[in-house]
Amino acid sequence: MSLPRKGSRPITVDGVRYRWRIRTRPTGAQRRGDSPLLLAIAVDDGGGPAMVVRLHRAHPRNEQGIRSYAVTPWQVAVFIRGGLAAGWRPTEPGPQFNFDPRVDPNIEALRIDPVRSRGRAALLSAVRARADERDALRLDFSRADQRSTRRPCWLSGLEINGRDLIEWIYDVERPLVDEELAADDGEAPDRGEDFAGQYLGLGESVYRLPSRALLGEVPSWEASVAFQTAPDDPRRRKTTLLDCTCGISECWFLLATITVLDDVVIWSDFEQFHRAWVYDLGPFVFDREAYLASIAPSAT
């Protein structure tokens, strides 16, 4: 079976396109907290059975005040791989496949996505490969929150090698958005017609010292959003760099890993929280002394 496009989201895992959906309106048992949140996943073109994942968390609209966690694309990808390892055949005829990640032995082995979590050794290897090449960070808020003259997006005030961060992000997201729009017959279900690079900067007070945001030492971004992720979600270790144009943090935001070493600061593993996109961007490697000077309080 296939999931309806309205209300479901696309995700591509290991070259196969799926759609996933959670029930927006809770059942009576879910409102009471007696039944957990369920996630449905199916291949995009139908044909085989859907997989229903029992999430062992309350529906976010339960009426008992029970804490819930967001369902993220990273988790959906883990569940897809776990279901396939457990026997789900999404392209072959058959009954609905029920999957319980808490009791499945494959989940722990599949929990870390090697594309998103490259590990410290791989990161240091990338830095060593660029031993004689360093990126430059500059903070210029004179044009922040104005339109770019080169791209249909706003400016953040964070410039890397002379280009605003949002312009870098736009160039990476543009083909990803085009692919999503094409798969949805020209209509993206939840973001409109063109949403590449649609971010705003977080403001000078967030980026400059004494704020530790650009040193990766701030509390989890969850302190400023309305939903929370599971305790083992790798996003808890990332820094929010850009915010949504609507001004609501949880709506649409960009994350990255900021690693501070003795001589360099590294921005890597860029990620859009609401999409399973893989960003071909970075790592950006900054000389630590120059980096600290760039984020120092403004003299004006």
- Is residue 182 within 8 A of residue 213, CB to CB? The reply is no
Q: Which of 196, 288, 202 is nearest to 240 (CA)?
A: 202
- Using the predicted structure, report yes or no on whether residue 292 has a pLDDT greater than 50: yes
Which band of pLDDT confidence, cut at 50, 70 and 90, is reported for residue 262?
Answer: confident
- 96: its two tokens: 């609905």
Comparing 185 with 84, the larger pLDDT belongs to: 84
Q: What is the pLDDT of residue 288?
A: 94
Contacts 24+ apart (CB under 8 A), 2-7: 2/42, 2/43, 2/44, 2/45, 2/46, 2/47, 3/40, 3/41, 3/42, 3/50, 5/184, 5/189, 6/189, 7/189
Comparing 70 with 171, the larger pLDDT belongs to: 171
